[in-house]
Amino acid sequence: MKDGAVVTTMTNEAAGHAVRSRASQAAAFSVEFNGWDAVAGEWNGAYRRGEATIFQHRSWLDAWYRAFAARPDLEPMVATVRDRATGELALLLPMIRREHRRVRVVEFADLDLTDYNAPLLGPAAPREPKAAAALWRDLRR
């Protein structure tokens, strides 16, 4: 050791665990709720980057949200979740806000008519359970 430097060695497995732990602790997401029209363009870009179902296609969501546009008790909204540190897209999640017995409820945009309630994942989508839990916590908040 030179100049009092301390040398620490670590196995590859331990180093990988340390990096994953820091990544999990640092996972923080920003969440915005916007109307469909505000995010439709970004939706197209995210859809082209990854695998998606027909129910995640912009045409489907355009038609879906238009079908309920005249209902005064429904407000289309999309949750846009980004990695807070990088601004990179983690997910887009179609939702609605509706009034149910004078209580405002935010829920999946399926209205119990379809089985669709999955987010469209972006490049910053969590890949481990702790980061996914952090995303869900930030989304619910």
- Beta-bridge partners for 82: 30, 89
Q: What is the pTM of this model?
A: 0.71
Banded model confidence at residue 70, pLDDT cuts 50, 70, 90: confident
CB 76 within 8 A of CB 35: yes
Radius of gyration of the CA atoms of the chain, in A? 20
Average pLDDT over residues 13-23: 40
Confidence check: pLDDT of 86 > 80 = yes
Confidence check: pLDDT of 13 > 50 = no
Q: Which of 39, 20, 37, 63 is nearest to 120 (CA)?
A: 39
